[in-house]
Structures are given as C-alpha cells and as structure tokens.
A and B are shown apart, each in its own frame.
Chain A
Amino acid sequence: DVKVTQSSRYLVKRTGEKVFLECVQDMDHENMFWYRQDPGLGLRLIYFSYDVKMKEKGDIPEGYSVSREKKERFSLILESASTNQTSMYLCASSHGTDMYNEQFFGPGTRLTVL
C-alpha cells in the first residue's frame, strides 16, 4: 500500500515563527503536492513538485516555500507564520508516468498559529 506520512498531526506555533511541515512517501512517486484545506474554500494547491529539486507554484504560494532534496521527501516551509496560515495542511503524491493519475494523501497536519 502507498503510504504518505506527515511529521505532525497537530502543531501549534506563534506568529513570526519559522515552521517546517515534512512529508514522506514510500512508493517512489515522482510527483508530490502540498494543499491547504479551509472550511468553505475547499482544497487549494500551494506548491507541487514533479522531480527532485524541482518545484512549481500552485494557486496560493504566497507566504510559503518548499524543498525537495530527495525523491521521497517534500517539505513545506512557512518562513514567518501568520494567523491566516492556521489551516489543515495535506500532502499528496502520485506516480509520474501519467499526469492524470490519482493522488495519495497523508493524514494531514492541523496547524494553529497564535
């Protein structure tokens, strides 16, 4: 079974802190994604990566950056956390041969910024 893990289920940080959210997948997937999910707004794509050291902006990249140094790991970084970044963060991965493949999600990290 595909397994996507995220470093924390719940995280509480203070405004201005640098926050790292880690995501690891064990199926040798080429593609990895970071979403945030908010009530009434659904899932929104923050960043994605089709290969190691490669990254592309999604629909809402402002205030975030990412790092993909190894194929299995995709990190989301909040350089200076703000209260409007309080949200559920979901990482996903997919196989790269077909760009229209299904995505496999991690359990999510609920981040609260005080």
Chain B
Amino acid sequence: SQQGEEDPQALSIQEGENATMNCSYKTSINNLQWYRQNSGRGLVHLILIRSNEREKHSGRLRVTLDTSKKSSSLLITASRAADTASYFCAVYNQGGKLIFGQGTELSVKP
C-alpha cells in the first residue's frame, strides 16, 4: 500500500477559510514533501520538511511533522479560489523511491 495516505480525500471550503490536510506514513523517513496538482496538470513541489524539523512555513502554507505519530499536516491559511487543486504528500521508501499518497481534493468556493 502507499507510504503516504492523505485525509480527508476531499475538502470543500469557502474562500478566506483555512484548509487542513493530514498525511500518515508507515516507515522512518528522511523528509516528507507536499505537492499540489491542478486539474489535468503536473505536480508542483510546495514544501519539504526534514525528519528533524517539527514545523515549517512558506507563505500561507504551514506544515507540521510528528515523527512519533508518523503524521504530517498541511495548513493553507486564508484560502483562495486559486488554491483549488489536489494535494499530495510523499515520502521516500527504503528503496529510495518517492511514494505518493492518493491525495486530498481541495475545492475553494468564491
């Protein structure tokens, strides 16, 4: 099964609200990455958090990592309609391959 599993599968919010997505994984990690994919397009790397970091910010994005619980969360503050996309977490497995979760579909209504 996938290393990274996102929750919820789908999320619908109003513009201006915050969106929180969660990710769980199974093994020890070097880092955890979050990507965004607009409909029908390629993935865009958003943020990388290393295993010795607990929290990281980038603009309106805030990522937390809890290695004891093997989980991460992505918070998008003050969401905009342009944030509508699928969001994936990804971790490297022991074979050195980047494994993606199934993704959370975020819909931000204007």
Contact = CB atoms under 8 A, between A and B. Distances in A.
Interface of A: 4, 33, 40, 42-43, 45, 48, 58-59, 88, 90, 92, 99-100, 102-108, 110
Interface string B95-108: 01110111100000
Given A58-B97, A108-B40, A110-B40, A100 B31 contact: yes
The DSSP consensus for interface residues of chain A is strand
Contacts, number: 45
A107 B100 contact: no
Interface residues of B, number: 21
Interface string B16-55: 0000000000000011010100001111110010000000
B103 A104 contact: no
Contact of A103 (B2, B31, B40, B98): B98
A99 B45 CA distance: 16
A42 B35 CA distance: 13
A48 B96 CA distance: 11
A22 to B, nearest CB: 15
B42 A108 contact: yes
Given A42-B100, A43-B100, A107 B41 contact: yes
